[in-house]
Structure 1
């Protein structure tokens, strides 16, 4: 049903590697610098070890490929064996993966691997929480562009892993007329007409509306999607009544777990939340050595 499926990104292992590896290299350089002096002092060269990553709370696993890439980058002799798949819901003490190989290299990559895993799993977990609240409705959960600079692809991957749907990846894959565009164009109507004349590839056109009058203009100009920005439930109902079946509606702004069900009951097609990516708490994991060799 989602018109946003037309702009969904490819989330393959190869694409993950392409997007994540430069970030992993940057993170490792930032953390290791001239070398892990503590591990060099304590761990003998050639010392082998095995460790286990476990969940310390209920969470949604996301970022297993990042773990593999971190340790592959440090030492090709490290083996990572995953016990679960991306998107699996784990309970406290459930095992995620084992890591086996040179102990010094494992210690050097521990924090970087956990940082990626915790961050992406936190986003996937928050997304799953919202998606579950929407079960039994036709409303679809979307993310936004409110992402960590440089991490957008990974964070949208985490949203997808948690069961959400991606809004546009950037400024290039659909038209989204926002309040500042409307101010510069002079009106919603004129902004849509300017976009229509520019839209040679017939991309989707969405309009952000802050009042019912703006909704009426967007409806009259046949916008594909109308974003209802920071509207209370009363105005959302009015917009739903006006739009009928001509336009799809997206609620955005002030989206909380306590409010999301009410918005879905009104019949809004999409709910977008920046909090999925900018406010998700990190998931809690531990990495502990299980055997010494």
Structure 2
């Protein structure tokens, strides 16, 4: 069957690409990919379980972390199983509508994660700069509302992307340069003007991801300013509570911004740097976030060790 409808020149399927030049090794590359997937699912589900089970962890920082872990689980589930099927069973084709659904999930979940990271930065700002008002500002109902806003914001911002792709004709190539569907990757295959896609994509990056990263940076400027007025012991303790969040911010924003820059300014479609940045962007944060918080956050580390101790005793 042809990948295009002859009447309106629309794609029916897209072909996913794993690692160009390493097709012979795809079967073996699926094993470390499967390992990363299991680590991401197990690690983030453990974080969610520990925070939900321990009432002492029902605090703003940990509730936001629980939301972040849930988003990472959904990101892993929306991308990695298809990648493993492609590597192990050579299932490289993906239906046009399925590609649009995956695209929406990836981009909307990324928008939600950015919002939660901003909320976590605000939590650290209030906890350090206005500690007496922390419990009255970040109440449980307000935290729930922040989570709802993150979901609605991510979904609303990214909903137009598949709609813009749906209206485009595809009559040349249907081979994508990644192992999953990204808006900036799919739109380059269209044989019509993609100015609307480019402009809206730029608006989303500037007014969503750009604004979030700017506000996070401002939060830490105020945090550093407040920390400098504390004693050395109090300063180290205060900044120590921010290390895990700073690591999570870098794990998310550096690959995301790098991938956006590569797609926007690189002239070579499907180059190695495209593939590397795309896989780092989606595979690394869900794996490392629970490890960073598990190691750096004393309360979570103690609860995890206690849980393993109980399992050992049983």
TM-score (norm 2): 0.22
Larger relative contact order (CA 8 Å, sep ≥ 6): 2
Q: Kindly indicate which of the two structures has a greater share of residues assigned to helix.
A: 2
Q: Kindly indicate which of the two structures has a greater share of residues assigned to strand.
A: 1
TM-score (norm 1): 0.24
Specify the structure having the higher radius of gyration (Cα).
Answer: 1
